[in-house]
Amino acid sequence: MSVAEIALFPLQTVLFPGGRLPLRIFEQRYMDMAKACLRDEAPFGVCLIREGAEVGEPAVPEEVGCIARIVSWDMQQLGVLQVVARGEQRFRILERRVQANGLAIARVALLPAEQDATLDAAADLCARVLRKALDTAGDGLVEPPLRYDSAAWVSARLAELLPLSGASRQRLLAMDDARDRIEILRRLISSSGQ
């Protein structure tokens, strides 16, 4: 388990490995963070907010989050940075401090990749529901490559797309075995009559 120090971006959303996260950045502390990440080709951490809000005073994040890396950016309006970040690896916060500008910096332990399993993409309910959702939504909703045979990829994309609470998404992110996550989502979809 390796340890790293990263800037944190607490949000009202949960980012999963392989996920796509469009952000509209306007607060100075996050503008500075994004500029440093772009300049140094460095990642930052995305965590669900446990207490507080996205804007204003520093929020208290959940302890498990996801490393994010900026893959594209644009500034069409002065003072507003539009970025798209991609989720990479899960982490657990070991300790956190808040700088004078309000930006949280954390020492994190990178978590090992979750245990994956192969799905029969044609037969599996979760893979079929995800394929239908992505076919309907069109391009740009998820980052390629599309991996309908991977329990980790399918369950992460469904956890991002299904109408779940932040707390439910957070519990799914914290799971170490994709087979367990896919089974929870399969039961949820079955009970909703999909």
Let me know if 188 is exposed, middle or buried by CB neighbors in 10 A (0-12, 13-18, 19+). Answer: middle
Cβ contact 14:159 at 8 Å: yes
**Across 62-71, 140-149, 175-184, least confident range:** 140-149
The whole-chain average pLDDT of the chain stands at 92
Let me know if 106 is exposed, middle or buried by CB neighbors in 10 A (0-12, 13-18, 19+). Answer: buried
In this prediction, residue 108 carries a pLDDT of 97
| Structure letter (DSSP) for residue 194 | -
Cβ contact 161:133 at 8 Å: yes
Whether pTM exceeds 0.85? yes
Q: Tell me, which fold does domain 3-110 have in CATH?
A: 2.30.130
In this prediction, residue 2 carries a pLDDT of 85
In this prediction, residue 7 carries a pLDDT of 97
Find the angle CA(10)-CA(98)-CA(102) to the nearest 5 degrees.
70
In this prediction, residue 131 carries a pLDDT of 92
Instruction: Give yes or no for residue 168 having a pLDDT over 90.
Output: yes
Q: What architecture is the 125-191 domain classified under in CATH?
A: Orthogonal Bundle (1.10)
Q: What is the pLDDT of residues 95-112, one digit of tens each?
A: 999 999 999 999 999 999
In this prediction, residue 143 carries a pLDDT of 82
Q: What is the pLDDT of residues 123-166, one digit of tens each?
A: 789 999 999 999 888 767 888 889 999 999 999 999 999 999 99
Task: Give the start-to-end residue ranges of the domains of the chain.
Answer: 3-110, 125-191
In this prediction, residue 55 carries a pLDDT of 77
Q: What is the pLDDT of residues 2-58, one digit of tens each?
A: 888 999 999 999 999 999 999 999 999 999 999 999 999 999 999 999 998 787 788
State the Cα–Cα distance between residues 10 and 116, nearest whole angstrom.
Answer: 27
Instruction: Give yes or no for residue 1 having a pLDDT over 80.
Output: no
In this prediction, residue 139 carries a pLDDT of 67
Instruction: Give yes or no for residue 194 having a pLDDT over 60.
Output: no
